[in-house]
């Protein structure tokens, strides 16, 4: 055998070993992803209906106290969707969101108290409530995500025609949060003016989830799609303390209801 053929043979063997190692790595990644998916699927996904009075208080806590008396409230029936509990007069509507369609994951431990003004109620909140209804009808999480995204793309859903506000000044919420975007229970009261199509680059913002101080300045949160972009304006440290003090009973009652709603730093 010539030196050239020997070198060619060695190169061929190294290539085969490299390919085998590459395929093994891909296989490991695929198995890991499959295992993670299987674990996620084993988590409880059936929603438990909250006690009505507790859910009303929780939903209304997303609003400043001065705005609560005239607000509309919907409560979630996990088998049907949201149903009107109190019809207000201000155009502001409040719920506790339990399904986040962008996650493509049906968990039973998501609790997001939020309120929208009239412009947001007929647009953004309408989508959230439709997602809950579709989930109740039996559609799976991946199909739900595709369905909602398609409706945004084909114009079935529209952004608000004017500026408006989503209120999220509740003392507690359980959702994806900083710094690592895992599902956690936290106190993060803030206001969310609508900003469809706006980016952090557009407003010169540089939020860093690992740096809480950077989040005290307004920034943009894009919730899955450009149409669902919001300015995030956190309340100040003193305002947050006032909220937690004012809502002490609610915080305790939520923790007594479910462990996952207990704040780690609550007394």
Please give the pLDDT value at position 35.
32
Please give the pLDDT value at position 13.
43
Kindly compute the dihedral angle of the four CA atoms of residues 224, 227, 132, 189, in this order, to the nearest 10 degrees: 80
Q: What is the Cα–Cα distance from 52 to 58, expressed in whole angstroms? A: 10
Please give the pLDDT value at position 43.
52
| Residue 167 scores a pLDDT above 90 | yes
| Residue 28 scores a pLDDT above 50 | no
Q: Which residues neighbour 212 within 8 Å (Cβ) at sequence distance 6 or greater?
A: 178
Asked whether residue 80 is domain-assigned, the answer is: yes
Asked whether residue 18 is domain-assigned, the answer is: no
- pLDDT tens per residue across span 85-108: 999 999 999 999 999 999 999 999
Q: Which residues pair with 221 in a beta bridge?
A: 230
How large is the average pLDDT for residues 37-52? 69
Please give the pLDDT value at position 232.
97
Q: Residue 83 has what DSSP assignment?
A: E
Asked whether residue 130 is domain-assigned, the answer is: yes
Asked whether residue 233 is domain-assigned, the answer is: yes
How large is the average pLDDT for residues 37-59? 78
Kindly compute the dihedral angle of the four CA atoms of residues 249, 252, 253, 258, in this order, to the nearest 10 degrees: 160
Asked whether residue 82 is domain-assigned, the answer is: yes
Please give the pLDDT value at position 36.
39
Residue 77: domain span: 52-261
| Residue 8 scores a pLDDT above 50 | no
Work out the mean pLDDT of the chain and round it to a whole number: 86
Q: What's the structural domain count of the chain?
A: 1
Asked whether residue 188 is domain-assigned, the answer is: yes
pTM for the model stands at 0.82
What is the total residue count of the chain?
A: 267
- pLDDT tens per residue across span 51-60: 999 999 999 9
Q: What is the Cα–Cα distance from 173 to 166, expressed in whole angstroms? A: 15
Asked whether residue 198 is domain-assigned, the answer is: yes
- pLDDT tens per residue across span 118-150: 999 999 999 999 999 999 999 999 999 999 999
How large is the average pLDDT for residues 192-202? 97
Q: Which residues pair with 111 in a beta bridge?
A: 174
Contact 194, 158 (CB under 8 A): no
Name the percent of the chain lying above pLDDT 90: 78
Asked whether residue 36 is domain-assigned, the answer is: no
| Phi, psi of 179, rounded to the nearest 5 degrees | -90, -15
């Amino acid at each position: 055998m010539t030196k050239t053929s020997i070198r060619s043979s060695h190169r061929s063997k190294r290539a085969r070993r490299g390919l085998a190692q590459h395929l093994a790595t891909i296989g490991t990644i695929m198995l890991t992803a499959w295992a993670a998916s299987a674990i996620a699927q084993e988590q409880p996904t059936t929603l438990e209906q909250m006690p009505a009075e507790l859910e009303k208080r929780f939903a209304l806590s997303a609003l400043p106290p001065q705005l609560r008396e005239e607000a509309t409230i919907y409560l979630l029936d996990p088998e049907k969707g949201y149903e009107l509990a109190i019809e207000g007069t201000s155009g502001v509507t409040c719920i506790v969101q339990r399904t986040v369609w962008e996650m493509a994951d049906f968990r039973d431990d998501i609790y997001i108290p939020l309120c929208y003004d009239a412009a947001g109620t007929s647009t953004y909140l309408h989508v959230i409530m439709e997602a809950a209804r579709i989930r109740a009808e039996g559609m799976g999480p991946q199909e739900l995500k595709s369905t909602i995204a398609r409706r945004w793309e084909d114009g079935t859903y529209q952004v608000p025609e004017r500026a408006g506000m989503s209120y999220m000044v509740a003392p507690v919420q359980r959702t994806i949060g900083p710094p690592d975007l895992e599902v956690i229970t936290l106190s993060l009261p803030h206001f969310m003016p609508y900003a469809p199509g706006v980016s952090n680059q557009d407003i010169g913002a540089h939020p860093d989830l690992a740096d809480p101080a950077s989040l005290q300045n307004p920034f943009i949160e894009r919730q899955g799609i450009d149409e669902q972009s919001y300015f995030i304006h956190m309340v100040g440290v003193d305002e947050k303390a006032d909220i937690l003090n004012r809502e002490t009973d609610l915080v305790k009652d939520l923790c007594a209801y479910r462990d996952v709603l207990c704040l780690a730093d609550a007394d």
